[in-house]
Amino acid sequence: MTLSKKRIPYGVANYKSLVTEYGYYVDKTEYIRRMEAFHSPVFLRPRRFGKSLWCTTLQYYYDQRYAEAFEALFGHTAIGRNPTPGHNSYVVLSLDFSTVPPSRQIQQLEKNFHQIVNMRLATVLQRYEAMTGGTIPFDASRPCMINLAQILEMVSHHELPLLYVIIDEYDNFVNQLIMARDDRLYRELTREDGFLKSFFKVVKEGIKEGTIVRCFITGVLPIIIDELASGYNIADFLTLDPEFEGMLGFTQAEVDQLLDEVYSDFSLPLEDRSEIEALLQTHYNGYHFSRTAGPKLYNSSILFYFLRHLTRFGAPPKHLTDVNLKTDISWIRRLTGSNPQLTENFVDQVLWKNEIGYDDIQLIEKFDMQRFFEPDFFPLSFFYLGMLTRYNDFRMRLPNLNMRTLFIEYFNELHHITVSSGYEDMMEGFVNSCNFSTLFSDYWERYIRQLPEAVFSHINENFYRTTFYEICRRYLSGYFLFHVERSYPGGRSDLEFVGKAGTVYAGQRILVEFKYWSNQKFTQSGQTLETFEALSEDMNQLQSYEQALQQESPETQIASYLVYCFGNQGYRVIPLSVSQ
């Protein structure tokens, strides 16, 4: 039976399930052909970027067992219409190192590793036995690299189909040691005669001898690949290769096509689409891994989180940050926790300037555990974790509002600023009155007054805008959507409140432009908070946004405000207009 609506594949990491259960699919299969130029491809991406789905895509494409299902699984894809000669030609050994139970004892960790790998090798061995008609001795109590070497010898001796190795989450159980900063166990794990290097040496030998046709490795961090260099120095590091920039994650063109399908299948109102697109771009788009000139990339899993809620309830989720991403703040804590002052400096700079310098050469040079925690390496560490992205050849930035929100939360934590209580009355008052001036006044008294004096020597309008947005997002997401830096012909607006459908604020919008004057500039101006008047160029800028918005959405009621922040001396909210 054909389903009338496709499934939003949020959390789906199995390619066969996605296809057979009628899920939306953005076709990336042409990259299979490109990868065949490499025997040992290594491709790293941040968490929840679709790595596991890609691993199973390779499994179903190359594994002999699924030859009869090839048309059903790949007939609708680019690679299915023009397959490579190697499709469904190999025995696939698929390993997921995230299933290796962690341990703080090297002996137990080694035992766990051998057990997990040997279980998968036993399945592979059964398939080869069926081909030869004989029984091949297999001792599950032996180290897995010995069993793998025996299987490869059998493949060579009997001229059996080659082995295709896929290793997902290659660094998962090791990352736990890195984040715990367990130097002793980490050194034992990566020593020259350790079980991990020994395993990869056998894989390397299999590729060299031609019994392993390819070994695809994916994960998050490059540290272990570098540590394994002596045992696996054949790796093709495709992570920063421009040709593979778009292999995982979605481009804007791909998202546009996906939205076309979703809006059509679920009969979503087209008049809301421009708002939805702006929301998606602000919160989820913005990644550049190998180049900055090409299209930016969306985090695919978080995009599907949004679309699942949109198709179920006809509206965006109240909280636009997937709870599964909240664990990323623990990475920030562990990475930067050894030196609180350096941590504050790093986080403050990213929030205030939304940029930080980096050395492009270091992205491809040897990583090691100790350098990973050094302040000079913070931009690179956060790059691989998906919290910073390339802006140009010299600077990195936060990729989107989703990641900016995580940094704000950590900034508040570092400076002991309360945001989870004490704001209920002001927010409820705003919901009942929609008095923006009072809302900002309450924010100033309850949030800004908590900031330490030293912060104000670095603060700028980006900080006020971002922290004000974060407070409002926490409490008002049931009533408003929020845009930060929405594009207009004359520039980008600072902050917009968009009334949600089904609320009393439907059809209303609050347009806010922030301007910052340092304490020194304000004092030199000779003006006071009470007598300060908006500058004509600032008014013209905000009016241009309002006019463009009114043309775009003639029925929308718009309230526009200029907000001047004068260091820590105070502020002035100046209403521009209320259009009907």
Q: Is the pLDDT of residue 580 over 50?
A: no
C-beta separation of 259 from 248 below 8 A: no
Query: Which CATH class name applies to 429-580?
Result: alpha beta
| Residue 129, pLDDT score | 86
* Beta bridge mates, 511: 496, 560
The residues, any chain, with a CB within 8 Å of residue 439's CB and separated by 6 or more, are 426, 427, 429, 430, 472
Amino acid in position 115: Q
* Percent of the chain whose predicted confidence (pLDDT) is above 90: 66
Q: Is the pLDDT of residue 388 over 50?
A: yes
Locate the domains of the chain by residue range. 27-244, 252-325, 429-580
| Residue 354, pLDDT score | 86
Q: What is the dihedral of CA 469, 475, 477, 478, to 10 degrees?
A: -160
Query: Which CATH class name applies to 27-244?
Result: alpha beta
Q: Rounded to 5 degrees, what angle do the CA atoms 190, 194, 200 make? A: 80
Closest residue by Cα to residue 63 from 88, 36, 33, 35: 88
CA distances from 94 to 99, 131, 133, 466, 504 (A): 12, 19, 23, 44, 53
pLDDT tens digit sequence for 475-507: 999 999 999 999 899 899 999 999 998 899 999
The residues, any chain, with a CB within 8 Å of residue 63's CB and separated by 6 or more, are 88, 90, 91, 92, 164
If residue 237 lies in a helix (H) or strand (E), which one and from where to where? strand 236-237
User: Exposed (0-12), middle (13-18) or buried (19+): which is 6, by Cβ within 10 Å?
Assistant: middle
Question: Using CA atoms, how far apart are residues 58 and 29, in angstroms rounded to an integer?
Answer: 9
Question: Using CA atoms, how far apart are residues 532 and 388, in angstroms rounded to an integer?
Answer: 38
Backbone angles phi, psi at 411, to 5 degrees: -60, -45
Average pLDDT over residues 150-162: 94
> Any alpha helices (H) in 314-451, and if so which ranges?
328-336, 340-353, 369-372, 378-384, 401-414, 424-433, 436-446
Closest residue by Cα to residue 498 from 485, 512, 486, 510: 510
CA distances from 546 to 73, 279, 515, 559 (A): 49, 18, 17, 9
Better pLDDT: 231 or 320: 320
C-beta separation of 347 from 393 below 8 A: no
User: Exposed (0-12), middle (13-18) or buried (19+): which is 513, by Cβ within 10 Å?
Assistant: buried
| Residue 328, pLDDT score | 66
As a residue count, the chain comes to 580
Question: Using CA atoms, how far apart are residues 512 and 545, in angstroms rounded to an integer?
Answer: 10
Question: Using CA atoms, how far apart are residues 210 and 522, in angstroms rounded to an integer?
Answer: 72
Residue 460 has which token pair?
């700028």
Average pLDDT over residues 296-312: 95
* Percent of the chain whose predicted confidence (pLDDT) is above 70: 95
Residue 61 has which token pair?
């494409």
pLDDT tens digit sequence for 131-147: 887 777 789 999 999 99
| Residue 1, pLDDT score | 39
Closest residue by Cα to residue 173 from 199, 193, 192: 199
Residue 2: pLDDT band by 50, 70, 90 thresholds? Answer: very low
C-beta separation of 560 from 554 below 8 A: no
Exposed e or buried b for every residue in 528-556, given b needs 16+ CB within 10 A?
eeeebebeeeebebbbebbebbeeebeeb
Helices then strands, counting H and E runs in the chain, come out as 24, 15
| Residue 446, pLDDT score | 95
Average pLDDT over residues 101-123: 94
Amino acid in position 159: E
Question: Using CA atoms, how far apart are residues 247 and 15, in angstroms rounded to an integer?
Answer: 15
| Residue 169, pLDDT score | 94
pLDDT tens digit sequence for 183-194: 788 888 888 889
Tell me the pLDDT of the chain averaged across its residues.
90
Average pLDDT over residues 358-387: 79
- Lowest mean pLDDT across 40-49, 175-184, 477-486: 175-184
Residue 370: pLDDT band by 50, 70, 90 thresholds? Answer: low
The helix, strand and coil proportions of the chain, stated in percent and rounded to the nearest 5, come to: 50, 15, 35
Residue 579: pLDDT band by 50, 70, 90 thresholds? Answer: low
Better pLDDT: 272 or 229: 272
CA distances from 372 to 205, 224, 260 (A): 30, 12, 42
